[in-house]
């Protein structure tokens, strides 16, 4: 039977979470025949392979293990994509899982989809306090194909899900791009959600929760001090994104707009890390000035999209405004500005 969906599970030192994730993929027998789960052993030193082997033994037609030398998250995804048999593939990290109600619906829905990118809501689960946040999209219509121009025309309604956790790719489409993610770095999830999708001309939104994203672990790469320490990884991802700048003519309708928007978002994240989360404010301002020189030289119109935001962050840096303070009042201020602008239209 044809595999509709391949789940790629990059695995490194995640044994304590792996059982929860792999168990969440077990659905009814009919759907198990249409699903494959590839546990990519990225040279993990823990007993993740032993745990995964139990699932392979019990469900040999669904679960399999792909062993490789350690190369990082992007390397594991690259290997998993090459091995995938499903018509579509989705990456679920080894410490995350899928929604028990939404996942079976998702597999069934994919059978009737003809798109290159499929976007679904996801949920953030904070292990530190149990808080759950639904990240949802509101396109004009679900289960309809849009080109990227049409996607960008409704950006505010759908942007929350245009990220790694919300995206599923058509396997043949993704492979046709011959694009490998960076290896040996963190934050390549930004690259995953940007570059391949920029070349899509059929994007479909499905109204079902699929991915449960575990947050709240101080060891995760999203924590401020860790982000500053790993800033060179984000700089490498930004460099990879900027290399696509001269290829915008090859992107279909709206793909160039999507590419610039997503790249600008990555740059803004870099500013926030270096100017607000960074304890060494002087170093942060210096490194931002250096990266801005590169951006202005390679992608001047993208720099124009972020220049005001950068100036604001620089000002906050001089005032020693913390990232926590910024995130507390910034949404309120942005909402007020939008309200005032709307009244003045």
**Local confidence pLDDT in tens for the 345 residues of the chain:** 799 999 999 999 999 999 999 999 999 999 999 999 999 999 999 999 999 999 999 999 999 999 999 999 999 999 999 999 999 999 999 999 999 999 999 999 999 999 999 999 999 999 888 899 999 999 999 999 999 999 999 999 999 999 999 999 999 999 999 999 999 999 999 999 999 999 999 999 999 999 999 988 655 444 667 888 999 999 999 999 999 999 999 999 999 999 999 999 999 999 999 999 989 999 999 999 999 999 999 999 999 999 999 999 998 889 888 787 777 776 665 555 556 555 543
The reported pLDDT for the residue numbered 345 is 39
Residues 269 and 234 sit within 8 Å (Cβ to Cβ): yes
Side-chain-facing half-sphere of 270: CA atoms under 13 Å: 29
Its CATH architecture, for the domain 5-215, is Alpha-Beta Complex (3.90)
- CB count within 10 Å of CB 341 equals 9
- CB count within 10 Å of CB 100 equals 13
Give CA–CA dist 300/210, Å, rounded: 37
The reported pLDDT for the residue numbered 219 is 53
Give CA–CA dist 231/229, Å, rounded: 6
Domain extents in the chain:
5-215, 224-323
DSSP state of 289: H
The reported pLDDT for the residue numbered 261 is 97
The reported pLDDT for the residue numbered 4 is 98
Q: How far is CA 333 from the centre of its chain?
A: 27
67 phi and psi angles, rounded to 5 deg: -95, 140
The reported pLDDT for the residue numbered 344 is 47
Residue carrying structure tokens 């190369």: 71
């Amino acid at each position: 039977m044809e595999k509709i969906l391949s789940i790629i599970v990059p695995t490194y030192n995640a044994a304590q979470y792996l059982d929860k994730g792999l168990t969440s993929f077990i659905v009814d027998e009919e759907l198990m025949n249409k699903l494959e789960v590839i546990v990519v052993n990225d040279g993990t030193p823990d007993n993740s392979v032993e745990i995964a082997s139990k699932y392979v033994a019990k469900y040999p037609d669904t679960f399999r293990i792909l062993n490789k030398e350690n190369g990082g998250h992007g390397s594991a995804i690259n290997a998993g994509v090459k091995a995938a048999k499903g018509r579509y593939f989705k990456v679920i990290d080894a410490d995350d899982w899928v929604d028990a109600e939404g996942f079976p619906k998702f597999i069934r829905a994919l059978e009737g989809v003809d798109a290159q990118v499929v976007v679904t809501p996801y949920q953030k689960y904070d292990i530190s306090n149990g808080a759950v946040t639904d990240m949802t999209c509101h396109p004009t219509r679900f289960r309809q194909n849009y080109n990227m121009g049409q996607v960008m025309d409704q950006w505010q309604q759908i942007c929350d899900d245009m990220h790694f956790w919300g995206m599923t790719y058509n396997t043949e489409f993704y492979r046709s791009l011959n694009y490998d993610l960076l290896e040996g770095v963190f934050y390549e999830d930004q690259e995953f959600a940007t570059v391949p999708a920029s070349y899509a001309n059929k994007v479909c939104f499905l109204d079902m929760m699929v991915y449960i994203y575990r947050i709240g672990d101080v060891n995760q790469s999203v924590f401020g001090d860790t982000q500053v320490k790993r800033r060179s990884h984000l700089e490498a991802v930004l460099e990879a994104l900027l290399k696509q700048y001269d290829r915008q003519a090859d992107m279909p309708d709206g793909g160039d707009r999507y590419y610039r928007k997503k790249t600008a978002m990555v740059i803004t994240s870099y500013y926030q890390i270096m100017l607000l989360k960074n304890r060494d404010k002087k170093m942060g301002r210096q490194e931002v000035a250096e990266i801005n020189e590169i951006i202005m030289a390679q992608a001047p119109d993208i720099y124009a999209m972020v220049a005001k935001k950068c100036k604001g962050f620089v000002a906050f840096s001089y005032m020693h405004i913390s990232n926590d303070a910024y995130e507390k009042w910034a949404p309120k201020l942005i909402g007020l500005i939008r309200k005032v602008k709307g009244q003045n239209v």
